[in-house]
Structure 1
Amino acid sequence: MTRIVTLTLNPALDSSTDAEHVAPDLKLRCSAPRADAGGGGVNVSRAIAFLGGQSLAALALGGGPGERVRQLLRVEGIPVHDLGVAVETRQNLSVIARDTGAQYRFIMPGQTWTDVDVDRSCEALCKLARAGDLIVPSGSLPPGVGPGDLVALTNRLAVLGVRIVLDTSGAALQAFATGRAKTLHVLRMDLEEAQSLAGRDLDTVADVAQFGRELVDAGAAKSVIVAKGAEGSILVTSRGQGWHVRPPKVNVVSKTGAGDSFVAGFTLALAQGSSDLEATVRGVGAAASAVTTPDTDLCDGASAERYAALSTVTEL
């Protein structure tokens, strides 16, 4: 099977807890916290493991929180490659108010990287990568790392003969969407991000597919995938093909982790030799599985396979 390497430049130690009521100015008595390794690529690696696959998690770890992330991944059987950037790993906090069910998520930015940190991580990843790998950069960029740095990294990786599946947002997504890199195998985004890029509403599946074709024509990637929530995902390829993959209806518990689970299912299927369409079906199944679990649990292998089999595929 093709090796999968996930890349997380801004990992996190995610703590989650609950309190009876959340209000300002009060001491909030919380239950014992749960700790999870977090960050986009880390979550993709964890979800791949839940689906029965394996990946190598390349990430920047530092300080006590970084060591805790390393330990948590080790317990889950996920091998780690440290990029050697000595910045302390950030910590995030999620609190659920038991009386209302509302969730409050406090997301930290991470420490600022220097130019030396950026160069060191780039060199480390390029030494790690080998021809044929599937590289999955995912998640936010830490302060000090700009979209141009990520574009430069993917350009160097592409020369090595890897395939890149990118799931990012904000300015980084904007940089790749304009075709600055022309090195991606797949660019994936959700509907909100797609509408922001397009500068217009994408109300229908046809609207989304048209925008996907615009991105492919601009050189953003060989294939573009846009997630449309409960309606599934739309795949458009450089061959002019397009499909809408729709999952079955499921009981939604938490939408957290659906995107990371999609990327996990999609990339694992690619690594096993599936086409982009077959991989999209597997990704949609994994995303459907993820929304039926609590927010920190991501997807489940058995249900992901079942939901993939129940998904419908419509050619566009």
Structure 2
Amino acid sequence: MHDILTITLNPAVDMSTATDCLKPGQKLRCDAPSSDPGGGGINVSRVIATLGGHSRALVAMGGLAGQALKTLLEQEDLDVLPFHAPGDTRASFAVRDRATGQQYRFVLPGPQWGETRLADILRLSAEAAPIGGYVVLSGSLPPGIPDDFPLQLARAIAPRRAELIADISGAALATLCARPAKIAADPIALLRMNRSEARSVAGRPLAKREDSAGFASALVHKGVARLVVVARGADGSVLATPDGCFHCAPPEVEVVSKIGAGDSFVGAFTLALAHGLPPQEALRRGTAASSAAVLTEATELCTRADADRLLPLCRVEPLMAHTA
């Protein structure tokens, strides 16, 4: 198995609760909150551990909330490499409205970064990157981090022959897709995005699976990443490879909470690649873990029992790509 390093620059203490009904202008009495360590890379490491693998989690944290996050991470028994963030770790809140069953998520921005911290995190990432392994950059980037950070990170880890897996959004995603990333050893192994993010970058609806496949395939052939995944929610995920496109539909399950589904997918997909499995099998395992995640409450991630149970119900099929 290849080693895995996850990077979380903008973690959060994830708090979740429920109230009878969300109404403006009133005091809303909530249940006792539950707290989890949050942030894309942290969640990916948690999923990898749940599925029987191991990773190291590089986490930027600071202030009292950072101490609370550190305690939560210790309870998860993760291998954590701490980095002193330039400000207090943020919090995020998920509130379920019992009257409607709807879930509302409130996410704060995180502390402002500067050039010194940027140089320090690139240096530490390069030192910690596993030789010949995978580095997972997942989650939002904090204010002050440049939009081309994923490319800077890919270049920083290239001398160690480590490959980057990026699950990013917003301006950083648009920048990465606009600039081909063919650098030493082709270090961007996988780029993942959801349907909304893909639609924004593509500038068109991507209504059908084949549309998503055409968009993802164009990014592969452009050299942005060796593998590109577009998640389509309940319609599953589309994978583009140099050899063709594939689709995996999730089994029908009761959706309790969608939080953590994407991170569960990335964790299972990364672990499969680290075990040397082909991308199509990684897609199948990612889909099973993502489906398992929606069965759990609030900010909980997938369970191994559910992921194993759902795996035989996930089938990968070839897909023809529609080009724009």
Distance apart, 1:251 and its partner CA: 1.6
Kept after mapping to 1: 8 A contact 2:154/2:163:
no
Distance apart, 1:23 and its partner CA: 2.1
Distance apart, 1:126 and its partner CA: 1.0
1:214 to 211, 218, 222: 218
Between 174-183 and 286-295, the greater mean CA deviation after superposition: 174-183
What is aligned with 1:195?
Answer: 199
Distance apart, 1:223 and its partner CA: 0.8
Kept after mapping to 2: 8 A contact 1:178/1:218:
no
The change in CA–CA distance for 1:195 and 1:73 in structure 2 (over 3 A counts) is: same
The change in CA–CA distance for 1:314 and 1:269 in structure 2 (over 3 A counts) is: same
Distance apart, 1:217 and its partner CA: 1.5
2:270 to 267, 272, 292: 267
Divergent runs of 4+, >4 A:
none
Correspondence 1:302 to 2:277:
no
Instruction: For 1:303, give the aligned amino acid.
Output: D
Instruction: For 1:150, give the aligned amino acid.
Output: P
What is aligned with 1:227?
Answer: 231
The 1-side partners of 2:287 and 2:272 are apart by 11
What is aligned with 1:146?
Answer: 146
Instruction: For 2:253, give the aligned amino acid.
Output: V
Kept after mapping to 2: 8 A contact 1:151/1:180:
no
Kept after mapping to 2: 8 A contact 1:233/1:245:
yes
Instruction: For 2:55, give the aligned amino acid.
Output: S
The 2-side partners of 1:220 and 1:295 are apart by 34
Distance apart, 1:92 and its partner CA: 1.3
The 2-side partners of 1:313 and 1:21 are apart by 41
The 1-side partners of 2:39 and 2:270 are apart by 17
Per the alignment, in what secondary structure is the counterpart of residue 148 of structure 2? helix
What is aligned with 2:23?
Answer: 23
The 1-side partners of 2:94 and 2:57 are apart by 23
Distance apart, 1:175 and its partner CA: 1.3
Q: Structure 2 unaligned segments of length 5 or more: list them.
A: 320-324
Instruction: For 1:62, give the aligned amino acid.
Output: G
What is aligned with 2:296?
Answer: 293
Correspondence 1:313 to 2:310:
no
Instruction: For 1:292, give the aligned amino acid.
Output: L
The 2-side partners of 1:22 and 1:8 are apart by 31
What is aligned with 1:59?
Answer: 59
Between 47-56 and 212-221, the greater mean CA deviation after superposition: 47-56
Alpha-carbon RMSD across the aligned residues, in angstroms, is 1.4
Kept after mapping to 2: 8 A contact 1:186/1:224:
yes
The change in CA–CA distance for 1:38 and 1:281 in structure 2 (over 3 A counts) is: same
What is aligned with 1:50?
Answer: 50
Q: Structure 1 unaligned segments of length 5 or more: list them.
A: none
The 2-side partners of 1:220 and 1:150 are apart by 11
The 2-side partners of 1:57 and 1:211 are apart by 31
Distance apart, 1:36 and its partner CA: 0.8
Distance apart, 1:193 and its partner CA: 1.1
The 1-side partners of 2:286 and 2:62 are apart by 31
The 1-side partners of 2:112 and 2:102 are apart by 31
Instruction: For 2:277, give the aligned amino acid.
Output: S
When normalised by structure 1's length, the TM-score is: 0.95
The 2-side partners of 1:134 and 1:69 are apart by 24
Count of matched residue positions in the alignment of Structure 1 and Structure 2: 315
The 1-side partners of 2:315 and 2:26 are apart by 49
Distance apart, 1:189 and its partner CA: 0.8
The 1-side partners of 2:90 and 2:309 are apart by 36
What is aligned with 1:97?
Answer: 97
Distance apart, 1:114 and its partner CA: 1.2
Correspondence 1:181 to 2:181:
yes
CA offsets 1:56-85 (integer angstroms, 9 cap, x no match): 111101111111111111111111101233
Per the alignment, in what secondary structure is the counterpart of residue 255 of structure 2? coil
Distance apart, 1:20 and its partner CA: 2.4
Kept after mapping to 1: 8 A contact 2:92/2:106:
yes
Distance apart, 1:147 and its partner CA: 1.3
Distance apart, 1:256 and its partner CA: 1.5
The 1-side partners of 2:274 and 2:90 are apart by 31
The 1-side partners of 2:140 and 2:81 are apart by 19
Identity %: 44
What is aligned with 2:322?
Answer: none
The 2-side partners of 1:132 and 1:159 are apart by 10
Distance apart, 1:11 and its partner CA: 0.4
